[in-house]
């Protein structure tokens, strides 16, 4: 068995896709996180319902996260 | 009586279907979880309202989970 | 006076109907629960807005539960 | 001054009407409750948007309760 | 500076209007409350989107309260 | 660096505009608050989607607050 | 690895864009925050669905924050 937080740790400095509750998807490099699943991503591209934009560094509040997909 | 967490434990490395609050269903192999029902699934196929996609490994935040069905 | 958790205990291994926040109803045998009202049901039939399906064993996250009706 | 929990206590084994967040109203005899306002009702009649049904005993999760009206 | 709970205390046995999250407004005499802002009101008149009704005593779960207006 | 609670303290007895989750805006004099961001406002004018009304003193439950703007 | 709170600290007195749950975006200088991600911004411009307005100083309740983008 592997702990969810351990999988986050294994993906540090790797590309992940974050799905948020508002259906936005953030693609970027996971550079940090904490116990609340607050996360820091670098080189982020955000895909919303209609468009995509580059955001650079992003801090995401954990309570908005649905799922994380390592890429 | 069986504890819900015990049923998760019994389904480690087995196929489960996860229903999320946004109606997505994730089918995959349960490889980990924690006390908040955060979960790790491998070989995930996600079925949404209109389409299905393969996601590989997925970390799901427990607060989005409605129900888990062992398969 | 009877405690709500005590009524759950009395209904162990009996049929209950669980109403969830998304209006799904799960009918099944209550085989377990914990302090968060996470629950395990066996022989589940789930009735949604339009259809019914057999699910076997189901773990339900307590935060999605509206009410439980012993049958 | 009277504590809200004290008013619940005074209404043990009496008729109350419970309004839930999904607009359902449960009429029944309050037979139990706990600190989270989880409640047990007997002889319940539930009135929804369109119809009424008899449910017998019902356990309600406190987080779904809007208000309680002793009758 | 005055604490919000102190203002509740000052309005004990006085008329207040409670706005709930579902837009209902309860007018009544505040006879009790606790640390979670659960409240007891007497002689309540409830105004919803379309109609008004007399409810007598009402226990309101604090998590549904938006604002309280002393009258 | 300044703590958010410190900014509230600096605005005691001054005009602030409170945006609530339901899009109501309360303009009034901040006369109190607590650690949960429950707040007391005096001389409140509330602007909703369609109309404005004078409310006098208002106690706001912190969980409904989106942002506070000192004026 | 970098902690999310550390990235906030590094952006003190710098421009950030805050996305809120109601889709508002606040652009301003981050002058403070606390452990709940409550934040203080100065020189704020708020962009909503249809219009933009200058707000000066704003205190944002952390529970409304989706993501923070340093600029």
DSSP code per residue over F4-48: HHHHHHHTTTSEEEEEETTS-EEEEEEEEE-TT--EEEEEEEEE-
Q: Residue C51: is its pLDDT beyond 90?
A: no
Rounded mean pLDDT of chain A? 96
The pLDDT of C22-27, averaged and rounded, is 95
The pLDDT of B53-69, averaged and rounded, is 97
C4-70 maps to CATH 1.10.8.640: no
Q: Which of G61, G62, G65, G66 should we substitute to test contact with F (largest number of F Cβ atoms within 10 Å)?
A: G61
The pLDDT of D26-49, averaged and rounded, is 95
Q: What is the structure's pLDDT at C50? A: 80
Where in chain A are the domains? 4-70
pLDDT tens-digit readout, G17-65: 999 999 999 999 999 999 999 999 999 999 977 889 999 999 999 999 9
The pLDDT of D12-41, averaged and rounded, is 97
Establish if F62 touches chain G: CB-CB under 8 angstroms: yes
According to CATH, the topology of domain F4-65 is: SH3 type barrels. (2.30.30)
Chain F hits for G31, CB-CB cut-off 8 Å, are: 1-2
Q: Residue D48: is its pLDDT beyond 80?
A: no
The backbone region for D13, taken as left when phi is positive above 0, alpha when psi lies in -120 to 50, beta otherwise, is left
**Domain E4-64 -> CATH class:** mainly beta
Q: Residue E51: is its pLDDT beyond 90?
A: no
Give the confidence band of C42 by pLDDT, cuts at 50, 70, 90: very high
Tokens 């009395």 label which residue?
C10
How far is B55 from B50, CA to CA, in rounded Å?
A: 16
Rounded mean pLDDT of chain B? 96
Partners of B16 in beta bridges: B28, B70
Contacts of G36 (CB under 8 A, 6+ apart): G61, G62, G63
Give the confidence band of B48 by pLDDT, cuts at 50, 70, 90: confident
Q: What percent of chain A has pLDDT above 90? A: 93
Q: What is the structure's pLDDT at D63? A: 97
Establish if D10 touches chain C: CB-CB under 8 angstroms: no
Q: Residue G6: is its pLDDT beyond 80?
A: yes
Give the confidence band of D51 by pLDDT, cuts at 50, 70, 90: confident
The pLDDT of B57-67, averaged and rounded, is 98
Q: What is the structure's pLDDT at D49? A: 75
Establish if A57 touches chain G: CB-CB under 8 angstroms: yes
Chain E hits for F57, CB-CB cut-off 8 Å, are: 7, 69-70
Q: What is the structure's pLDDT at C63? A: 97
Contacts of A33 (CB under 8 A, 6+ apart): A8, A39, A40, G1, G4
Tokens 């699934």 label which residue?
B41
Kindly determine whether residue A3 and residue B32, on different chains, have CB atoms separated by under 8 Å: yes
Give the confidence band of F48 by pLDDT, cuts at 50, 70, 90: confident
């Amino acid at each position: 068995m592997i702990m969810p937080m351990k999988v986050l740790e294994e993906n540090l400095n790797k590309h992940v896709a974050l799905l948020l509750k508002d259906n936005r998807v953030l693609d970027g490099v996971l550079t940090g996180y904490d116990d609340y699943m607050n996360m820091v991503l670098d080189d982020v591209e955000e895909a919303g319902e209609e468009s995509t934009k580059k955001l650079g560094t992003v801090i995401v509040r954990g309570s908005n996260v649905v799922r994380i997909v390592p890429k």
